Amino acid sequence: MLLGLLCKVLLGTHEYVWVTMTDESTPNTEKPVESITPDELKKRIDSGEDVFLLDARAESEFEEWHIDGENVEIVNYPYFELLDGIPEELHTELPNDQKITALCAKGGSSEMVAENLEDEGYDVNHLDRGMKGWARLYEYAELDVDVDATIAQYQRPSSGCLAYLVVSDGEAALIDPLRAFTSEYVQDLRTLGADLTYALDTHIHADHISGIRMLVEQTDATAVLPKLAADRGVEYDLPYSTVENGDTLTVGDVEIEVIHTPGHTTGMTAYKVGNMLFTGDGLFTESVARPDLEDPEAAKNAAQTLYETLQERILALPDDTIIAPAHFSDSATPNDDGTYTATLGELKASMAALSMEKDAFVEFIVSDMPPRPANYEEIIATNLGQQSPDDEKAFELELGPNNCAASGEALTN
């Protein structure tokens, strides 16, 4: 008796289906190809080990976002070109003395590619759950700061998104939380023995789905938005509070100062705790905000506003102010502990954009912007409460890089 095994692989908009037949009485003793989890791969990269990746996604997907690093060598060769085996030209790019990790979008195609490579004698594994699994990575690191509170930075390596947890005397605030990681925040709050008082956004995000509403549903927290951000047309189905420049919020023994910092968006707002400034998308450790995601037609005016904000409200702060941004890009250099912060003095010395004259700054920013984040219009509509995608759809919308900064490398000295 024969048993039909149906296998399916999705490639872009094309679906390849084939059926293999095997004798039911003959056991399959073939050992499955080795897999590696996203967490394990990240640890290999972080340790400085040389890593070789074969990315089997379509070229357009690869160019939009892929795994990177100083010790990462990566080759893109689309899966559909590997259906008949490993081409000779690819053999010349693959190492014979190093582990190869094959990856794809969801993990199925890369497993088959890895099997073919193993048959050819290569030392190989494949990334479990592919880039979707990579996008589920989320890391927690407590910051060493001179503030009477525990402050942790959350990192999403796949997109460079950063969020922050501030805990003081049993109370807590989350700044720029991501909806996809609500359960992680709730668990960390339990571990730290803190109740969430506030879930704050610095602005209406264009690169990821905000988690403030889901956190309110799962805790007793108050959702907080800058008033000018809410004025863009927020339509939440739950209560929320708004803040304006000069307001303060109390969490345990610390105060959160509200500083309006328009430019990236009209409502862009920074939150200050002690000497830490959570800048959202206004200022990064390697770049400044892009001004075109709220209103592309008004990008030049927004860039002028951004310049004034940087000069008058941020650069006027003491040099020892610690800048804690909402994103990092491949151009950013991490601290020794892997976190992404910098003092304002360090940024003044390293970032040419902060010493440019206004006209030069504006012209440079509007003429050198990267592609907009994928699905940014749908993401903005979701964060305004005008659309309600389910969890899986929301996760799919935000896959890829954040692209919320102006061009990074050219802005540094």
Number of C-beta neighbours around residue 263 at 10 A: 26
Among 134, 159, 178, the domain boundary falls at 134
The answer on 99 and 176 residing in a single domain is no
Q: Is 404 a catalytic residue?
A: no
Q: Is the pLDDT of residue 8 over 80?
A: no
Question: 90 lies in a domain?
Answer: yes
Report CA 345 to chain centroid distance, whole Å.
26
> pTM here?
0.89
State the pLDDT confidence band at 353, using cuts at 50, 70 and 90: very high
Of 244, 42, 224, 23, the C-alpha closest to 127 is: 42
306-325 residue pLDDT tens: 999 999 999 999 999 999 99
Of 276, 281, 279, the C-alpha closest to 292 is: 281
Q: CATH number of the domain that 64 lies in?
A: 3.40.250.10
**CA-based torsion, 274, 279, 284, 287: positive or negative:** negative
Q: What percent of the chain has pLDDT over 70?
A: 91
Among 134, 150, 176, the domain boundary falls at 134
Average pLDDT score over the chain: 91
State the pLDDT confidence band at 244, using cuts at 50, 70 and 90: very high
The answer on 150 and 268 residing in a single domain is yes
Looking at beta carbons, which pairs linking 146-149 to residues 24 or more positions away fall under 8 Å?
146/274, 146/275, 147/254, 147/273, 147/274, 147/275, 147/276, 148/253, 148/254, 148/274, 149/251, 149/252, 149/253, 149/254, 149/273, 149/274
Rounded to an integer, the average pLDDT of 215-237 is: 97
The answer on 292 and 257 residing in a single domain is yes
The answer on 315 and 207 residing in a single domain is yes
The answer on 289 and 219 residing in a single domain is yes
The answer on 217 and 87 residing in a single domain is no
- Of the given ranges (127-131, 143-147, 184-188), which has the lowest mean pLDDT? 143-147
3-state secondary structure of 59: helix
State the pLDDT confidence band at 337, using cuts at 50, 70 and 90: very high
Residue type, 234: V
Quote the CA–CA distance of 352 and 331 in Å, as a whole number: 14
Question: 130 lies in a domain?
Answer: yes
Question: 390 lies in a domain?
Answer: yes
Q: Cβ neighbours of residue 135 under 8 Å, at least 6 residues apart? A: 156, 158, 159, 395, 399
Among 117, 134, 151, the domain boundary falls at 134
Domain of 74 in residue numbering reads as 36-134
Q: CATH number of the domain that 382 lies in?
A: 3.60.15.10
The answer on 285 and 159 residing in a single domain is yes
Residue 158: phi, psi to the nearest 5? -65, -30
The answer on 175 and 57 residing in a single domain is no
Which residue of the set 7, 104, 161, 404 is catalytic?
104
Domains of the chain: total: 2
373-412 residue pLDDT tens: 889 999 999 999 999 999 999 999 999 888 888 864 446 6
